Chain A
Amino acid sequence: MRYPFPVGRSDFIQGDEAIARAAILAGCRFYAGYPITPASEIFEAMALYMPLVDGVSIQMEDEIASIAAIIGASWAGAKAMTATSGPGFSLMMENLGYAIMTETPLVLVDVQRGGPSTGQPTLAAQGDIMQAIWGTHGDHSLIVLSPATVQEAFDFTIRAFNLAEKYRTPVVLLTDAEIAHMRERVYIPNPEEVEIVNRKLPQNEEEARLPFGDPHGDGVPPMPIFGKGYRTYVTGLTHDERGRPKTVDAEVHERLIRRIIEKLERNKENIISYETYALDDAEIAIVSTGIVSRSAVRAVKILREKGVKAGLLKLNTLWPFDFNMIEELAEQVKKIYVPEMNLGQLYHLVKEGANGKAEVELMPKIGGEVHTPMEIVERVVG
């Protein structure tokens, strides 16, 4: 297999470009998109690479059609991705729900910019956290990843595909305008170094007959993709294990929705990822995600120099969310600070997790600039 970019060495590229290359290495062979700042560079890279690796890159008439097309492609057997920013992300909510309901593996990249509405197209924000987790209607669960560096944008994209395939679920990669356009050293691995997970396919007729069942007891049914003679019927209506619509049966609805939520919930430990810095003996904790974490690390270093026992918890996944871990942290420290580029979203999750065991304080910042380390430091030392 020939790749349209150098592999097995480091490169100096933008976050958007890193996501495109990672997708190709993860096995993505279908991309549908619509132009939007600051996510267009992902699409442009895909447009350049896809035909060369015998994949498809197509520009749809809007974001609604883009996510629809990748769901179709996923059922036709392809690993598929789309990327957008706030306004397009809002348009995708309808079919994101469809992908959750039909348990369709796909990767959706949302490069966050200032909102609501058209807002600040070129500037970074973290205002889509709640939408990524709760944006589509109805009870549901999905996976949300949040990188802080270009290398993480690359690594998490590969992980996003693997998690999508493993758990038959849409995965949202929540990045932002800052990471999108920042150039950074990234190691692009050789294809053989990349761990690839492929979706479970039915092993026999019985499994194929139950595309929404739980034959392996792990909550994740094998996926009988189209064209293999399984004659699978897929619907966004509430459906039984065979996929037959059962729209007024409370028991079927509850069984289906609970399984979709629980297949992620019970695999939480394998999905949730975080990093800590100087947290072991910390009395002050900072909890952050994405680009802000980089300011937070620096702030912790400065605080430690000043004799303040500060530590950082950097969340790489935003959903599923480990509320227990936050509670344990709250028992250890006196106070938790949550710096984020919005007026309080992650803060609410952290506060719920802390469960009153420690004070939780929001450090909001909006307008497009990342918090500087000193802004965080000054807030902590007063």
Chain B
Amino acid sequence: MYLKSAYEIRDKYLRKDMLPTIFCPGCGIGSALQYTLRAIDDLGLNQDEIVWVSGIGCSSRVPGFVNFDGLHTTHGRALAFATGIKLANPDLKIIAFMGDGDAAAIGGNHFIHAIRRNLDVTVILINNFTYGMTGGQVAPTALKGLRGTTAPYGQFENPFDIADLAVSAGANYVARWSVFNYLQGINSIKKALSKEGFTLVEFLSPCPISFGRRNRMKTSPELLRWYQKITVPLAKAKNMPPEELEGKIVIGEFADRDRPGLVREYEAYKKRAKKMMGWEE
């Protein structure tokens, strides 16, 4: 695959007056953002027909930096706002850029219900196991034993597997990679953007400052090496017993199906209403 230079992508899609970004050196959000922009570029999507939506957190600042319509909303609620945008103007394509705390803790309910409805939205989910912006509290994705400012003695709760949850709730497309898997990442986003209904691409993304530092991985490369150690490709994971998978994170494509999206269902619903009331044949 031919990759355009990063400058070309930057100049085409970012708001110059907003740069530099607020992201710390070594943060993985920039990578996931770049993959998303490359996917948009490769697919030749119209920049004026995409709305970026986000909640609160580091990842949620992304819509401010990209030169698209953007709605930076309240903590956890991005997908509920997205429901309104999409249904009020189905011609718009929605990308929700979210963090793990935002999507899976405070926003967990909106997340599963948006999936259940099969809302037409592509979620790019940055999973860094922590609340970066507020200073490194534990997130519900944090693996057991990991530390955060609110779990100074190590996380004692069980973690969420967001991708797994999205599959059981019924998403049309679900994939997870670490930001290290850039080609798979771009390809998954392209696939996600091309499908109707709810699509999710989750990225394990390094947060050296708020997360790494507290877990003996001060730099991004250390975190990436750790990801390599704990991630297991889906094909391989299938043959592994649960004990061996303890503390590991499976990566790959978990769902790829074509249930009708909410917009299509609502269009049919309007027709049915008019028919039932005798307004239309």
Q: Do A and B share a complex? A: yes
Q: A51-B273, A68-B74 are in contact. Are A62 and B109 (CB under 8 A)?
A: yes
User: B80 at the A/B interface (Cβ < 8 Å)?
Assistant: yes
Binding site for B on A (CB under 8 A): 2, 4, 29-30, 32, 51-52, 54, 56, 58, 60-62, 64-66, 68-78, 80, 94-95, 98, 226-237, 244-245
Name the prevailing secondary structure of the B interface residues: helix
Contact B279 A2 (CB under 8 A): yes
- Contact present for B92 and A95 (CB under 8 Å): no
Cα A196 to Cα B266 in complex, Å, equals: 27
Chain A residues with CB below 8 A from B47, complex form = 231
* Extra 14 A-B pairs, beta carbons < 8 Å, given A68-B81, A233-B72: A52-B279, A56-B266, A64-B77, A64-B80, A64-B110, A65-B83, A66-B80, A69-B84, A72-B81, A78-B84, A227-B49, A227-B92, A245-B64, A245-B72
Interface string of B41-84 (1 = CB under 8 A from A): 00000011101010000000101100111111110010011111
Is B183's CB within 8 Å of the partner chain A? no
Return the CB mask of B168-206 against A: 1 if under 8 Å, else 0.
000000000000000000000000000000000000000
> A236 contacts which chain B residues (CB < 8 A)?
72-74
Q: State in angstroms the CA–CA spacing of A187 and B53 once bound together.
A: 42
CB of B244 within 8 Å of the partner chain: no
Docked pose: A95 CA to B67 CA in angstroms = 25
**Which of A54, A62, A64, A77 is in CB contact (< 8 Å) with B89?**
A77
**Which residue, of B17, B81, B88, B91, has the highest number of chain A Cβ atoms within 10 A?**
B88
Chain A residue nearest in CB terms to B271 = A51
Give the 8 A-B residue pairs with the shortest CB-CB distance, closest first: A72-B84, A68-B80, A73-B84, A51-B273, A65-B80, A69-B84, A73-B88, A235-B72
How far apart are A127's CB and chain B's nearest CB, in angstroms?
A: 25
- Contact at B80–A69, with CB atoms within 8 Å? yes
Contact B64 A226 (CB under 8 A): no
Distance in angstroms between the alpha carbons of A51 and B92 in the assembled complex: 20
CB contacts (< 8 Å) of A231 on chain B: these are 47-48, 67-70
B88 touching A56, Cβ below 8 Å: yes
Residue of A nearest to B17 (CB): A244
Task: Report Cα–Cα, A52/B49, bound state, in Å.
Answer: 27
How far, in Å, is B211 (CB) from chain A's closest CB?
Answer: 23
Interface contact A226-B84, CB-CB below 8 Å: no
A80 to B82: give the CA distance in the assembly, Å.
14
Q: How far is the CB of A51 from chain B (nearest CB, A)?
A: 4
A-B contact pairs, 9 of them (CB 8 A): A29-B88, A30-B87, A56-B88, A65-B80, A73-B87, A75-B85, A94-B74, A227-B48, A235-B64
Q: Which of A51, A232, A237 has the most B CB atoms < 10 Å from its CB?
A: A51
Least Cβ distance of A300 to chain B in Å? 45
Q: Chain B 93-137, CB within 8 Å of chain A: the 1/0 string?
A: 000000000000000011001000000000000000000000000
B144 within 8 A of partner (CB): no
CB distance from A99 to the nearest CB of B (A): 10
Nearest chain A residue, comparing its CB with the CB of B69: A226
Cα-based distance from A72 to B81 in the complex (angstroms) = 5
The residue in A52, A54, A72, A232 that gathers the most chain B C-beta atoms within 10 A of its C-beta is A72
**CB closest residue in chain A, given B280:** A52
Q: How far is the CA of A80 from the CA of B89 in the complex (A)?
A: 13
Q: Does B18 contact A (CB under 8 A)?
A: yes
CB distance from A2 to the nearest CB of B (A): 7
Complex Cα distance, B86 from A72, in Å, reads: 8
The reply to whether A58 and B88 contact each other, CB–CB distance below 8 Å, is no
**Would A69 and B64 be within 8 Å (CB), given that A2-B279, A95-B77, A233-B72 are in contact?**
no
With A72-B81, A231-B48 already in contact, the answer to whether A65 and B277 are too (CB < 8 A) is: no
Please, how many angstroms separate the alpha-carbon atoms of A52 and B278 in the complex?
10
Min CB distance B91 to A, Å, is 7
Residues of A within 8 A of B279 (CB): 2, 52
Residue of B at shortest CB range from A95? B74
CA distance A30 to B53 in the complex (A): 19
- A residues in contact with B266, CB < 8 Å: 56, 58
CB distance from A375 to the nearest CB of B (A): 43
A3 to B71 CA separation, bound complex (whole angstroms) = 33
Interchain CA distance A124-B264 in the complex, whole Å: 40
Residues B88 and A65 in contact, CB atoms below 8 Å apart: no
Closest approach, in angstroms, between the C-beta of A315 and any C-beta of chain B?
31
Report how far A229 CA is from B49 CA in the complex, Å. Answer: 8
